[in-house]
């Protein structure tokens, strides 16, 4: 029983480590379908377009954000920072100034079907 338990624990740890080292987690992140995201451009008219649409000025790509940010190995590991981080920091700054800043934590506030203009 004891040997079985120890063996199982060692196997789980080794397996997980090898899976991460072999790029398994990055692949899982790339292949996982996107959650729906709602975004209202009308609520963000005061924000400079290039704050988010950096490709307008740096010629780093065309098309939708997630064409690169979800699939490109160079940036997809940073998808959390580039999206959650960018949205949250801006919303928190606004709220710190007493303005309506939008969602900061609850996942479902943003990850819902996009019906916004």
Partner 1 sequence: MTAALLLAGLVLLLGLAAGALPTAGFAWDFLGALGFSAFAVIAMLGWDSESPARQPRLDLHRNLGIAACVLVFLHGVGYLLIDWTVIEYLLPAAPGYMLLGVFAFLALLAMTITSLPRFRSKSYGTFATFRNWHRVIYLAVLAATAWHVLATDFSLASPWQPAAVALLLCGVPLAGTVARRLALSPRLTRAPTSTASVARAPYLMALGAIGLALAYAAIKQFACASC
Q: Which is nearer to partner 1, 71 or 95 (CB)?
A: 95
Positions 65 through 104 that interact with partner 1 (CB under 8 A): 80, 92, 95-96, 98, 101, 104
Count other Cβ atoms within 10 Å, centred on residue 73.
11
Of 31 and 59, the one with the shorter C-beta distance to partner 1 is 31
| CA gap 58, 62 in Å, rounded | 11
Residue 12, both tokens: 């789980």
Select from 24, 16, 116, 29 the least CA-distant residue to 80.
29
Among 106, 113, 115, 117, binds partner 1 (CB under 8 A): 106
CA-based R_g, the chain, Å: 20
Q: Residue from 1, 64, 74, 113 that binds partner 1 (CB under 8 A)? A: 1
Could you say which of 10, 14, 18, 35 contacts partner 1 (CB under 8 A)? 35
CB of 56 to partner 1, least distance (A): 28
> What is the closest distance, in whole angstroms, from the C-beta atom of residue 54 to partner 1 in the complex?
22
The torsion defined by the Cα of 48, 108, 102 and 42, in degrees rounded to 10, comes to 50
Which listed residue (14, 28, 47, 86) binds partner 1 by CB under 8 A? 28
* Number of other CB atoms surrounding residue 113 within 10 Å: 8
First-to-last alpha carbon distance for the chain, in angstroms, is: 61
Binding site residues, partner 1, CB under 8 A: 1-2, 5, 24-25, 28-29, 31-32, 35, 80, 92, 95-96, 98, 101, 104-108, 111
């Amino acid at each position: 029983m004891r040997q079985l338990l120890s063996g199982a624990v060692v196997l789980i740890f080794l397996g997980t480590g090898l899976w991460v080292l072999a790029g398994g987690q990055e692949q899982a992140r790339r292949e996982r379908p996107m959650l729906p995201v709602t975004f209202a451009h009308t609520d963000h008219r005061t924000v400079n377009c290039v704050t988010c649409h950096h490709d307008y000025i740096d010629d780093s790509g065309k098309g939708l954000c997630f064409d690169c940010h979800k699939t490109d190995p160079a940036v997809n590991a940073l998808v959390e920072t580039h999206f959650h981080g960018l949205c949250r920091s801006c919303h928190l700054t606004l709220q710190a100034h007493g303005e309506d800043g939008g969602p900061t934590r609850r996942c479902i506030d943003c990850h819902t079907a996009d019906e916004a203009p």
